[in-house]
Structure formats: structure tokens, C-alpha cells
A and B are shown apart, each in its own frame.
Chain A
Amino acid sequence: MASTTFRALYDDDDLLMHAVKKLRSEKYHIEEVYTPFPVHGLDKAMGLADTRIAITSFLYGCLGLAVAITMMNYIMIQDWPQDIGGKPSFSYLENMPAFVPIMFEMTVFFAAHLMVITFYLRSKMWPFKKAENPDIRTTDDRFLVEVAVGNDEEALKELLLDTGAVEVQVPKK
């Protein structure tokens, strides 16, 4: 029965970091941490896996480059190879310098936008999404740790107050 969680509130990010390390060393499971701003090193302290979003971005960039090349090769070289101001439309390579600005921009466009959309999907964010913060003060000046309760509720409460929590909530689920 790990359905109940404790919510400990802190008013300082150094205390928070300390508490997270302590909880992890005591083998408690941290469900989630809410902070008003990025706390440097918190992901490392929580033991979160590295993000792979840069890898997706690289792949999206390759896709964008391929789209740009295919598109311009079809339009400018295959479909209607006109002589426009003496530019050599005989093959893609011969006229390539003229296509590079678009190849570059398409690569950046795909890499950036698809990565952002990936980020929204993976972190489940959209315009009419219901906000999930358990305590409204976490967007202003409080730091909140959600810890799964093990067998001993009292021991966890003791530990949390020990680490400097200003408040420990026991929500009903």
C-alpha cells in the first residue's frame, strides 16, 4: 500500500537538496519534487536519467535537411529545370550553393520546432491542461517533495522535520 504520500514543504533550495539526498540515502521513494525555479543539480540528486531530447533534435534536423534537398531537387532540377539568370540547373550539385540557405533554415526549423513539440508531448503540456501543482505556493517561494510512505509513517515524518521541512502534509487519497 504505497498509495499514500507525504508532502514536505521547504523554504530554501539548499535544504531541499539536502533533504532529497537524505531521503534517497534512506531508501525512500521520491514521487515528485515541485520547485518555483530550476534548482541546479536537483536532477542528479534525484537520480533522474539524462534527457534524450538533443538526440531527437539531431534526427529532426536530418529529416529537415532531407526534406529541403528532396523538395528543391524535385522542383528546381527534375520537374522544370528552367534557365533562371544563367544558374546551372543541370544537376543538384551544380546549383547547390543557391540551395544552401534553404537547406540550412529547414534543418534548423525542423530541429527546433519538432523538438519543442516533442517536449510538450513528453511533459504533457497543452493550452487547456489542468494545472497539477499540489500546493499553490510552490510556484512562488516554496519547494515541495512528495515521498511515498513506507511501513512507518512516524519515522518518515520525523525524518522530514529533521531535514528542515517547514510543513508536512498528509493528504487523503
Chain B
Amino acid sequence: MKYTFSNRLKIGSYIAMGLGLVMLIAGFMNTPANVEEAKAMVAAAHSDGHGGHGGDAHADQTNAMASHDGEHTEEAAGHGEGHSASHDEHVYHQLKNRPWSALYVAAFFFFMISLGTLAFYAVNRAAQAGWAPLLFRVMEGITAYLVPGGIIVFVLLVLSVLHFNHMFTWMDAEVVAHDALLQGKQGYLNPTFFLIRAAIFLGGWIAYRQISRKLSLAQDKADDDSNFKKNFRWSAGFLVFYLISESMMSWDWIMSLNPHWFSTLFGWYVFASMFVSGITVIAMVTIYLKSKGYLQEVNDSHIHDLAKFMFGISIFWTYLWFSQFMLIWYANIPEEVTYFVTRIEHYKLPFFGMLALNFIFPLLVLMNSDYKRVNWFVIMTGIIILFGHYMDVFNMVMPATVGENWHLGIPEIGGILFFGGLFVFWTFTALTKEELMPKRNPFIEESRHFHY
């Protein structure tokens, strides 16, 4: 059966995109034009929000400054006046960064969903999973967003390289000139190589997506299984490329926002986050399509399997989060621990709140086997997991770019709405293109009668 994009959903996605765009533009309009304005904005925000502890907040800022990216470490060492001026400059850059970061977090988050879905798709093809083929077209629909999403992320990276924003401090030649550590990393962290790497990663992922989709469609019309076998080989090859490129991507696009900090399991951590978000979206789109009368052969057991993956990978994500946190907390080596010090000091609620959303909630809700078959349970948990992983990306990016001047306000919500709308529009448009059920997949019969 072919899917027809329902008008309500289409209009909904247009409204989300329009509203999001307006909010993003408002976010950009609302940035300070110069250092004086930035000072006034911060002063206003402090007298509004934090009332009593203005003095404390300033002391915190000074501490954070000393540890923050080492950009101004020399000045912060003790010269009062020089420090104050450079501090104002710093706050100005952070406020300028805010809408850019809101845009970047949302762009990366939705891109990461489709990349996680692609990885899950490739795993199911390489493992010759018997239950999954019924859902392959849904996954292919979600991964269609890889093309626009990837291009937008790439454009944002190019704009960063062209100094439209100050998100990546290592791209600033002025900063690097005063920073021995960044000079040492220049062989890897330099704008040209950075963009070449990004182009290779995106090119590889999109190429696999297109090849696999083509072979998947060709298999429907073929009279033998050669396309299926080719797809199997491409998927296995892609997984090798993906694991390497995904790991490097996480160093480039996220870890290099804190260019003085490094963590060896960071790539895995980002992977777990995108994998669980991808699986969650597969489950949600499947349940939506089923509720509209498409995908009638998808049964409770398919949903149950997806929910098991949501549950399991949520715990895997927590395992990596904790391993990274606990190793650094335990050893408490100053050059590593600043990453968590700034987050716990200024992002306490989002930092620990996301742990509750991404771990405790799925753990308790999806543990019961019966609940994993209840569609609205899976949808509710899915929304929580997705919000939790948005906050995860938020926690990885924001402390490095806007420091303590963070809010979940107009630009952030605008970013979610815009990219959410685009994601829904693109995914469901791609779903209308082909039959929702593969015809000649060798495992399709098994998948149809899948029963757990």
C-alpha cells in the first residue's frame, strides 16, 4: 500500500517550520550588537532571574573563566582590569553564539536521528534480521532526511569556518596564536582538513543510503536475490566505515567545541545517543503509520522488538555516560574534569535531568514486557527519550559555546520546531514515494509472521 501524506500533518509541518524560522530569526535579532549591550543584557537577566546572588554569580563566572577553554587563561591569572574587559568580551561572544548554538544543536539532533536510523538499518541488513524487513521502507523514509539534514549541518560548519560565529574557538587564528595546546592540535584541527573530513563523512553516509535504497527498490522488481546480496555487502562495508567516521565526526563536530578537553569513549557515547534516538523515531513513525491504517501487517511483536531496543540502548547510553563521567570524576585530573565542573556548576538541572529522562524513565516504564506492546506507552516513552537526547546534545554543545548564558528559550524552541517540521515533512514525503512493504525481500514472509 502506498502512503499518502495526510494534509493535517503536512500543514502541521509547514506551521512548525514557519514558526520555528520566525523564532530563530527573532533569536538572531535579539543578540547584542556590541560589548556594552551584552553587559546590559546580562545585568538585566541577573536582576530579573537570579535576584539575590549576583555576587556569587560573578565569582562563579570568574572561576569558569579561568577554566573555560583557556582562551583568556593568561589574563585571568590575576590582572584585575584586563580580566574584566576580556570577561565582558567573552560574555558578548557567548550571547552572540546563542542563536547559532540553538540552530546547531537542533540541526545536529535531527540529522543524528536519521543517521542513527541508517546505522540501525544497516545492522539489520548485515545481521539478516528476520523481523525487520517489514519496517525497511519506514527506515528508508527516515534516512531520506540525511540529505537535507546533512547539507544544513555542513553549511553551518562552513559558516563557522568563515567566522560567522565563535562556536569553535580553535577556528580563531587569534586564539590559536596565544594557545600552545591548540597549536599542538593544528595538524588535525585546522579549517581545511575539518571541512574535507566533514565532506567525506557526509558523502559516505549519503552514498550508502542512496545505494542501499536503490538496491532495496531494485530487489522488488528483480527475479533473483542478487540485489539483496549486494545490499548485504554494502551494509557490512558501510558499518565499518560508519564506526570510524562516526567516531571522528563526534570529535570534530562536538568534542572540538571544547578543544582543550578530550575523552576516548566520546565517539561511542554520541553513537549510543543517535542510535537510541533513531530507533525511537522508527518506533514512533511505525506506530503512527499503523494507526492510520497503513502497515497493517506490523503486529505487536514488531513494536515489542523496537521497544526492547529502545530500552536496551537507553541503558547502553547510560552505561557510556556513567563510564565517561565516573572515570573523570574519580581521577579528577584538572585538564579533564573542567568539562564536568562547568556543566555541574551551570547546567545542574539539564545535566542531571537528562539522566532521569534517558535512564530512569525508560528503565521503569519499558521493563514490563506487556507495556512494550502498548502503543501509547511506547509513544510517550519515545517523546521523553527524544527530549532527553535533545538535552544530551544541548549539554554537549551549549556549555562550550554560550557558557552560563543558556536558556531554553525562543531560539532553542525555534530550532526544534523548524528542524522538527522539516524532518517530518521530508520523512513523510519520502514515505509517499514507494510501496510501504518490500515485495521480494527473502525474509519478508518471516517478518510478516514474526511473533514473539
Q: Which residues of A pack against B, CB within 8 Å?
A: 54, 58, 86, 97-98, 100
Docked complex: B301-360 residues within 8 A CB-CB of A: 322, 325-326, 329-330, 332
Interface residues on chain B, number (Cβ under 8 Å): 8
Chain A proximity of B185: nearest CB distance (Å): 29
The answer to whether B332 and A100 have CB atoms under 8 Å apart is no
Chain B proximity of A58: nearest CB distance (Å): 7
The answer to whether B325 and A97 have CB atoms under 8 Å apart is yes
Q: How far apart sit A58 and B368, CA to CA, in the bound complex (Å)?
A: 10
The answer to whether B367 and A100 have CB atoms under 8 Å apart is no
Q: How far apart sit A54 and B370, CA to CA, in the bound complex (Å)?
A: 12
Partner pick for A86 among B325, B326, B332, CB 8 A cutoff = B332
Q: How far apart sit A86 and B326, CA to CA, in the bound complex (Å)?
A: 15
Docked complex: B95-150 residues within 8 A CB-CB of A: none
Q: How far apart sit A100 and B359, CA to CA, in the bound complex (Å)?
A: 14
The answer to whether B330 and A98 have CB atoms under 8 Å apart is yes
Q: How far apart sit A85 and B383, CA to CA, in the bound complex (Å)?
A: 42
The answer to whether B332 and A97 have CB atoms under 8 Å apart is no
Query: A98-B330, A100-B322, A100-B326 known; 9 other A-B pairs, CB under 8 Å?
Result: A54-B369, A58-B367, A86-B332, A97-B322, A97-B325, A97-B326, A97-B329, A97-B330, A98-B326
In the complex, the 9 A-B pairs of residues with the closest C-beta atoms, listed nearest first: A97-B326, A97-B329, A98-B330, A100-B322, A100-B326, A97-B325, A97-B330, A58-B367, A86-B332
Chain A proximity of B442: nearest CB distance (Å): 23
Q: How far apart sit A58 and B322, CA to CA, in the bound complex (Å)?
A: 22
Q: How far apart sit A58 and B329, CA to CA, in the bound complex (Å)?
A: 30
On chain A, the residues within 8 Å of B325 by CB distance are 97
Q: How far apart sit A86 and B330, CA to CA, in the bound complex (Å)?
A: 10
Q: How far apart sit A54 and B371, CA to CA, in the bound complex (Å)?
A: 14
CB closest chain-B residue, reference A101: B326
Chain A proximity of B328: nearest CB distance (Å): 10
- Ordered by A's residue number, 12 sampled pairs between the chains whose C-beta atoms are within 8 Å are A54-B369, A58-B367, A86-B332, A97-B322, A97-B325, A97-B326, A97-B329, A97-B330, A98-B326, A98-B330, A100-B322, A100-B326
CB closest chain-B residue, reference A41: B451
Q: How far apart sit A97 and B326, CA to CA, in the bound complex (Å)?
A: 6
On chain B, the residues within 8 Å of A86 by CB distance are 332
1/0 contact string of B366-386 vs chain A (CB within 8 Å): 010100000000000000000
Q: How far apart sit A58 and B330, CA to CA, in the bound complex (Å)?
A: 30
Q: How far apart sit A54 and B326, CA to CA, in the bound complex (Å)?
A: 30
On chain B, the residues within 8 Å of A58 by CB distance are 367
On chain B, the residues within 8 Å of A97 by CB distance are 322, 325-326, 329-330
Q: How far apart sit A86 and B367, CA to CA, in the bound complex (Å)?
A: 38
Among A54, A97, A98, A100, chain B packs the most CB atoms within 10 A around the CB of A97
Q: How far apart sit A86 and B333, CA to CA, in the bound complex (Å)?
A: 12
Chain A proximity of B32: nearest CB distance (Å): 38
Q: How far apart sit A98 and B331, CA to CA, in the bound complex (Å)?
A: 11
Chain B proximity of A156: nearest CB distance (Å): 33
